[in-house]
């Protein structure tokens, strides 16, 4: 009896679990179908928004010409112009050269100069003059750096600035101009080819051939002009140009100069001259005294000689006196 009850309970639990699994699967399938339906209904809005965003993004980098199949990538000629004050123009100029080389650029122009703003002279002694000169130092620098490194270079240069006067950054779009040059070049090359074919035709007269040759030369010159123009624009796009004018605070330089013109006018007074003479005389006395001490050995020899001479004279007198007594 107990076994039957136990089996009946197991059967009930199994049936109940199966029904729960079936209901959960149905609920999951319903949610999945609802999600798929919503996803299928939304693409009209989502795709439009995506296309609008994509079109906006493309418009930032591309032009669409009259021919919808032709797209032009934007090309900018970026330039910068700055004027600022630094603490030391010479050191800042050297730092700028190092930074330019760091970003694979090069200096195209550098003009370091000093401008005297004022000067004055003052006599400080009988034969000396103090010259004071006030001047400023500035440097005009033009450099070129790869377009991708322009912003990084300017950020590094800003660390050298003590006072900024102005900073101008320009970006000129030359994509349409380059596209126009390409079209003109292709059109001229086609015309040039037709003229060449006409010249090759030997049935033409000499005058016609000469005229055609002249036209061909003109077309070649025009083609070369547009080609070189595009090469120049491509170079300006690849390398940005930076023009800088840097300066520093006014500098004061003092120099002592010899003054020969005003020596007579700067003649000292009477008492000053007496005092100078006393000092000079005392110096002479000192020199003589020092010189006498330098020949001390001569005095010793003189004293020894006088002693010997005095003793010999005394002995001669004693001898003479002895002879007189006898």
pLDDT score recorded for residue 268: 67
The last residue of one of the domains, among 255, 285, 320, is 255
DSSP 187-256: HHHHHHHHHHHHHH-TTS-HHHHHHHHHHHHHHHHHHHHHHHHHHHHHHHHHEEEEEEEEE---EEEEEE
- Tens digits of residue pLDDT in 121-157: 887 776 778 889 999 999 999 999 999 999 999 999 9
Position with higher pLDDT, 159 vs 269: 159
Cα–Cα dist 222/192, whole Å:
10
Q: What is the mean pLDDT of residues 171-178?
A: 81
112 and 190 fall within a common domain: no
167 and 181 fall within a common domain: no
Q: What is the mean pLDDT of residues 4-27?
A: 56
Is residue 113 within 8 Å of residue 246, measured between CB atoms?
A: no
212: nearest Cα among 197, 222, 224, 225: 197
Q: What is the mean pLDDT of residues 159-164?
A: 92
Residue 25 CA, chain-centre distance (Å), reads 71
151 and 181 fall within a common domain: no
216 and 167 fall within a common domain: no
101 and 183 fall within a common domain: no
155 and 251 fall within a common domain: yes
The last residue of one of the domains, among 255, 281, 305, is 255
pLDDT score recorded for residue 215: 64
Residue 12 lies inside a defined structural domain of this protein: no
pTM, entire model: 0.50
Q: Say yes or no to pLDDT of 240 above 80.
A: yes
- Tens digits of residue pLDDT in 96-128: 999 999 999 999 999 999 989 888 888 777 677
Directed axis angle between helix 2-41 and helix 43-61, to 10°? 50
80 and 207 fall within a common domain: no
Task: Give the domain range for residue 189.
Answer: 176-237
Q: Between β-strands 239-247 and 76-85, what pairing exists: parallel, antiparallel or unpaired?
A: parallel
The last residue of one of the domains, among 237, 267, 290, is 237
Residue 96 lies inside a defined structural domain of this protein: yes
Binned at pLDDT 50, 70 and 90, residue 202 comes out as low
189 and 200 fall within a common domain: yes
Residue 217 lies inside a defined structural domain of this protein: yes
């Amino acid at each position: 009896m107990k076994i039957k009850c136990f089996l009946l309970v197991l059967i009930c639990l199994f049936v109940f679990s199966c029904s729960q699994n079936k209901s959960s699967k149905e609920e999951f399938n319903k949610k999945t179908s609802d999600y798929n339906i919503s996803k299928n209904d939304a693409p009209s809005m989502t795709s439009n928004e995506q296309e609008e965003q994509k079109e906006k993004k493309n418009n930032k980098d591309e032009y669409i010409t009259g021919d919808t199949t032709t797209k032009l990538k934007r090309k900018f000629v970026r330039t910068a112009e700055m004027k600022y004050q630094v603490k030391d123009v010479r050191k800042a100029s050297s730092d700028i050269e190092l930074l330019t080389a760091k970003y694979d650029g090069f200096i195209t122009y550098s003009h370091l100069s000093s401008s005297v703003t004022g000067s004055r002279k003052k006599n400080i002694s009988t034969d000396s003059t103090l010259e004071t000169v006030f001047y400023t130092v500035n440097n005009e620098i033009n450099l070129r750096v790869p377009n991708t490194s322009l912003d990084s270079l300017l950020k590094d240069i800003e660390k050298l600035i003590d006072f900024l006067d102005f900073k101008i950054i320009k970006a000129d779009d030359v994509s349409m101009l380059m596209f126009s040059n390409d079209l003109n070049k292709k059109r001229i090359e086609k015309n040039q080819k037709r003229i060449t074919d006409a010249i090759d035709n030997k049935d033409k007269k000499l005058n016609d051939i000469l005229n055609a040759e002249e036209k061909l030369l003109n077309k070649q010159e025009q083609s070369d002009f547009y080609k070189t123009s595009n090469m120049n624009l491509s170079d300006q796009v690849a390398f940005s140009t930076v023009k800088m004018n840097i300066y520093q605070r006014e500098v004061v330089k003092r120099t002592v100069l010899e003054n020969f013109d005003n020596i007579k006018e700067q003649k000292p007074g009477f008492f000053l001259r007496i005092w100078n003479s006393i000092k000079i005389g005392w110096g002479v006395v000192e020199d003589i005294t020092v010189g006498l001490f330098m020949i001390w050995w001569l005095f010793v020899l003189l004293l020894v000689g006088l002693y010997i001479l005095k003793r010999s004279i005394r002995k001669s007198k004693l001898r003479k006196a002895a002879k007189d007594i006898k």
